[in-house]
Amino acid sequence: MRNQRRFKRHDLAALASQAMLERGLEPEFPPAVELELSRLAASHRRPAADAPEEQGSKIADLRALPWCSLDNDDSLDLDQLTACQREAGGGLRLFVAVADVDALVHRDSAIDRHARHNTCSVYTSARIFPMLPERLSTDLSSLNPQQDRLALVTEMLIDGQGDLLDSRIYRARVRNQAKLAYDATSAWLLGEAELPAAAQAWPGMDEQLRLQDAMAQTLRARRHAHGSLEFETLQPRVIFEGDRVVDLQQQEQNRARQLIEEFMIATNGCCARFLASHGGASLRRVVRSPERWARIREEANKYGEQLPSSPDANALEGFLARRRRADPLRFPDLSLIIIKLMGSGEYVVERPGREPIGHFGLAEREYTHATAPNRRYPDLISQRMVKALLAGRPAPYSPAELEDLALHCTQQEDAARKVERRMRKSEAALFLEPRLGEVFSALVTGHGASGIWVRLLTPPVEGMLVGHAPELRLGQRLRVRLVGCNIERGFIDFEYVQG
């Protein structure tokens, strides 16, 4: 049924706010945060230039390195910078700088309490709900171009095969020399476009990006050889021009995104090992060995593949890689099935002497979240733990506090992802609503108690098949007609079209 009124961007933003509240998240900052922010902005206009050196924690000056940031075109909350240098013997020295958010957001402040409640930023097309006030996350604590900033730097020595030889973590002043975007940088790396103007402005940035790209691809190959899993899921978002929806786009994986992904995985692993080496409890990000491995084996059997009787990341990655090559059209649907069977990630507390749970999907035994403190609260927790060790201070959180925070962060992050998924459905319904009655090519993606699910090939939107239809099998191609869009509930209905 056609909606009674035409939805606008502000209507979707209101739906997102309501979805936040229903999931126990706070869409607005309380007055205490705004008051504290005004005082903070007045007293920290240039935090990196004036920050004192804490006892046992000197601040290095790395502003001359060829730092660059890589993020989405519209990202303003820049959490990390990267740089690298050639080493004798074919290795590279990689530097990853993470914004020192803790220098501005102190524990138990009003800003910190709000961040601790939500635990992460929530991203919807109509409105972003940042974990920290925008004046902080996009200005004072963001690693903005041509600004001196405080950061926590992880320095890694990596050989030509991608093996980590050594690493250390320390505080430093840094300066972003080039703010770059994923798509434009990836196009240049692949020889499809010119070097972005921001990179042209810094002599040698082209070579720097080539070095980083080569290192990232080496790390990526090594990771997959050790059983790291690679999925492909479809999560399209609508594009607005003002209040008007103009497109629905799927974010494509590319070389620049792979670069940042590899460097952040390496940095998170170094942080986890650093905390473990000092003998204290720490917050880890884990994906457990799949309990529903038998169901995963059943899925593989449908394609004539035999997986081992016990969970084996290398075998599963080999199966996924073969299916991607054999049937890229249906691979996103298989990816989603396997992801659901594996189970979602969670935060746990690792204690000294215990066997690490590890991250099954990344094939990493020791892994934490530490590279996005403007957007994720667990990263801010890890940052505070590392800084306390560097300064010779007691841990800022007791093991019991970490246990409570691990459970809370897992629950709130799950709630945030449900809000985002809910809003993607409403956004897709809004985009498709003017096309009621049109016929599309689709794939059958699921059978359930409620009915049959189908995914359009273009645009990649999923909905339910209503009315009479012949017996259909998973993965079958068919033609469907769009017959209903309920934007408020995020429902999209199709009917089967003969022939």
What's residue 49's pLDDT?
43
What's residue 180's pLDDT?
95
Task: Select from 15, 122, 2, 58 the least CA-distant residue to 427.
Answer: 15
pLDDT tens string 65-78: 999 999 988 888 89
Q: What is the pTM of this model?
A: 0.92
* pLDDT reading at 135 higher than 50: yes
What's residue 44's pLDDT?
66
What's residue 469's pLDDT?
86
Q: Are 232 and 331 within 8 A, CB to CB? A: yes
pLDDT tens string 137-181: 999 999 999 999 999 999 999 999 999 999 999 999 999 999 999
| Share of the chain residues as helix, strand and coil, in percent rounded to the nearest 5 | 40, 25, 35
Whole-angstrom Cα distance, residue 62 to residue 490? 49
What's residue 55's pLDDT?
47
* pLDDT reading at 4 higher than 50: no
Q: Are 394 and 278 within 8 A, CB to CB? A: no
What's residue 47's pLDDT?
46
* pLDDT reading at 471 higher than 60: yes
Q: What is the mean pLDDT of residues 288-298?
A: 90
Per DSSP, 470 falls in state: -
What's residue 129's pLDDT?
96
pLDDT tens string 250-286: 878 899 999 999 999 999 999 999 999 988 889 999 9
Percent of the chain past pLDDT 90, that is, above it, reads 71
What's residue 5's pLDDT?
55
Whole-angstrom Cα distance, residue 307 to residue 303? 11
* pLDDT reading at 464 higher than 90: yes
Whole-angstrom Cα distance, residue 405 to residue 374? 17
For strands 68-71 and 178-181, give the pairing.
parallel
Whole-angstrom Cα distance, residue 389 to residue 57? 9
What's residue 86's pLDDT?
93
Whole-angstrom Cα distance, residue 66 to residue 202? 8
**Cα angle for residues 436, 439, 443 (degrees, 5° grid):** 115
Q: What is the mean pLDDT of residues 461-478?
A: 90
Domains contained in the chain, CATH given: 9-288+347-429 (no CATH), 293-342 (no CATH), 436-497 (2.40.50.140)
